[in-house]
């Protein structure tokens, strides 16, 4: 399926207005990239300190629209929504869905995390090492939602789940995957022995991707948008989201973690962990940090005496 792609340079100050306008006119996806990167450079990943805005001074914004979208009508709608922005700098081109899929498939190969956990593309043969009787195999097609295991934050969480299973602390438990994306962490938990998994995400595409991936793996994940989530407590909670979101949701995550329960949090750049360790200290004991490349995971145990709120 082809798409119409809009590319527009903008500044940090303009970015919220541009995104609001694009969302209003029906953008399917919006991505940001540092405007100063050379074409040959990899896309930069930038996420600042807790509570700060994760943007570059100048950036290139890309949005996807359905193929049948008329570019001139789209420009008129954008100008009507916010005439104070210079939409004449927008550039349009057709992109093929297969180009996105091919790039992903070229990058995404079977990967092992810890002792038993394997993430394998849905149509890829199992490696020999993944054919052990106790291997926990997740067949994945992330689609447009984040989470294939290739990013260090996801890898850190997968290894944590594998270590819980190895210690006998996952079997038969209920798991909350907060910010589930593709559902990869909830799926891994179920394959490693969890009895039930619940996913929460504010992106409807993530809800669809998680449901589809659960069906592909022959399991069930109860998945909700935040407004629809039935709030409960869980013995295992994992949240692979941004540091700023973890800061804002600290009390909510504490409320959802049962006394004595385990939590793991990632999406945190190295250097951000000290603020978050202080933020979560009132509710969690034995907080510790694991690092991979420039990213960290914080995990800990919900104390019994603290009361959220």
CA angle, residues 207, 212, 213, in degrees to nearest 5:
100
201 is in an annotated binding site: yes
Asked whether residue 41 is marked as a ligand-binding residue, the answer is: no
Asked if 192 contacts 160 with a C-beta cutoff of 8 angstroms, the reply is no
Is the CB of residue 63 less than 8 Å from the CB of residue 22? yes
Q: Is 134 annotated as a binding residue?
A: no
Cβ atoms of residues 253 and 176 within 8 Å: no
Annotated binding residue 285: no
Cα 65 to Cα 51: distance, rounded to the nearest angstrom: 31
Query: Would you list which residues are annotated within the binding site for S-adenosyl-L-methionine?
Result: 154, 179, 201, 240
Query: Would you list which residues are annotated within the binding site?
Result: 154, 179, 201, 240
């Amino acid at each position: 399926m082809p798409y119409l792609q809009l590319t527009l340079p903008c500044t940090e100050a303009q970015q919220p207005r541009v995104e609001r306008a694009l969302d209003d006119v029906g953008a399917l996806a919006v991505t940001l990239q540092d405007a100063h990167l050379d074409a040959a450079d990899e896309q930069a990943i930038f996420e600042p300190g807790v509570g700060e805005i994760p943007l570059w001074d100048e950036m290139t914004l890309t949005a996807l629209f359905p193929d049948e979208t008329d570019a001139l009508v789209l420009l008129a709608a954008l100008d009507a929504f916010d005439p104070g922005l210079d939409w004449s700098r927008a550039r349009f081109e057709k992109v093929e869905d297969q180009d996105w899929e091919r790039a992903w498939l070229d990058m995404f190969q079977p990967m092992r995390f810890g002792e038993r956990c394997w993430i394998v593309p849905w149509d890829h043969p199992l490696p020999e090492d993944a054919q052990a009787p106790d291997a926990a195999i997740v067949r994945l097609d992330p689609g447009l939602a984040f989470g294939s295991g290739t990013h260090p934050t996801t890898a850190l969480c997968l290894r944590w789940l594998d270590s819980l299973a190895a210690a006998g602390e996952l079997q038969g438990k209920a798991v909350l995957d907060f910010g589930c994306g593709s559902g990869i962490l909830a799926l891994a938990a179920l394959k490693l022995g969890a009895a039930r998994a619940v996913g929460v995400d504010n992106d409807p595409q993530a809800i669809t991707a998680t449901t589809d991936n659960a069906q592909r793996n022959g399991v069930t994940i109860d998945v909700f948008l935040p407004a629809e989530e039935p709030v409960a407590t869980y013995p295992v909670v994992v949240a692979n989201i941004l540091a700023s979101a973890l800061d804002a949701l600290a009390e909510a995550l504490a409320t959802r973690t049962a006394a004595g329960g385990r939590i793991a949090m990632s999406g945190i750049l190295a250097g951000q962990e000290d603020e978050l360790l202080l933020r979560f200290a009132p509710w969690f004991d034995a907080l510790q940090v694991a690092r991979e490349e420039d990213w960290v995971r914080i995990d800990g145990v919900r104390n019994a005496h603290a009361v959220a709120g």
